[in-house]
Structure 1
Amino acid sequence: MNIDLIRLLVDFGMLVLIWMVQLVVYPGMCHYKTEDLNSWHKIYTKRIAVIVAPLMIVQVLVSVVQFFNRIDIYTAGSIIFIIIIWLLTFLIFVPLHNSIGPDKSCERITNNLVSKNWWRTGLWSLLFIWTFFENL
């Protein structure tokens, strides 16, 4: 399988995943009772990590290989996008997820997750579109 096709498939996977999280998962968190959200969230984060972690790791590895095979605005720019997304994920979203607890306001946390996640949703969407047109 061609590296560009792998990249396109991984970027598409991240696109679908981030839109599902943005439109379904994060807003749906407040449909749990406060005491149930904490226990469900622990299950959710373990399960979603099985999907997200491999996709993110493959995405960065493939983009680095592409960069060293062909240095251009697309390969350099996509690495910058991915770095920004990783920074947002680990500096903003991991702490937000860690703040979920039985004594916290579900609405406040969910609103924070949804409003801040638009940045990642936008970046992963733009990255997929760029990858798609780069591979036409």
Structure 2
Amino acid sequence: MLSLALIANIFCSFALFGLIWCVQLVHYPFFLRADKINFIDHIDFHKLRISIVVVPLMTIELATSGILAFTSAQFAGWNMFGFAVVTLIWLVTFFVQVPLHNQLSDGYDESTVQKLIKTNWIRTALWSAKSFSSLVLLFFLV
């Protein structure tokens, strides 16, 4: 049977999987093409609007990953894997991506945008792995 925590976790993982691919392939590369004069406004707009979507999803994903990892005996290995991946996503987000966004809030810098794009592949790969592990769980549970 699918628990509410598992359903919420899978939903958030897939939503973030889709979002991170869009950010990786569209948003961040667009920063290289954005109007340099108004670049700070573009970045501030992006940070505010993306946070409205990302923060609740990431928070629910982290909480439900922890619940599943530490309270569910069924598929404990998959749940611990999911929690570890989500933890890594949070670490990369707050120790790599957020500082790069903050640097860009001071103005356009092509090398910083390139770092943002390159390092975001880590989160893209991690959310892809997390979503794949969710598919495996769904396969065994349904």
- After TM superposition, the score normalised by the length of structure 1 is 0.92
**Residue 8 of structure 1 pairs with residue 46 of structure 2:** no
* Contact 1:29/1:110 (<8 A) preserved: yes
| Greater mean deviation of Cα atoms: 33-42 or 117-126 | 33-42
1:30 counterpart (26, 29, 32): 32
Q: Which amino acid aligns with 2:111?
A: R
The aligned counterpart of 2:123 is 120
Pairing 1:51-130 to 2, within 5 Å after superposition: 51-71=53-73, 72-100=76-104, 101-102=106-107, 104-105=108-109, 107-130=110-133
- Matched position secondary structure for 2:118: helix
> Which of structures 1 and 2 has the larger relative contact order (alpha carbons within 8 angstroms, sep 6+)?
1
Unpaired stretches in structure 1, ≥5 consecutive residues: none
Answer whether contact 1:4 1:135 (CA < 8 A) is retained: no
CA–CA separation in structure 2 for the residues paired with 1:97 and 1:15: 20
Which amino acid is the alignment partner of residue 49 of structure 2?
R
Identity among equivalent pairs (%): 28
Q: Residue by residue, what CA displacement relative to the aligned partner does 1:22-79 show, whole Å, maximum 9, x if unpaired?
A: 0000000122222211111111101110000000000011111212331411111111
Between 111-120 and 64-73, report the one with greater CA deviation. 64-73
Q: How many pairs does the alignment contain?
A: 134
State the distance in 1 between where 2:35 and 2:19 align: 25
Q: Which runs of 5+ in 2 are unaligned?
A: none
Tell me how far apart the structure 2 counterparts of residues 74 and 38 of structure 1 sit (CA, whole Å): 41
Counterparts of 2:4 and 2:78, CA distance in 1: 17
| Paired residue secondary structure (1:31) | coil
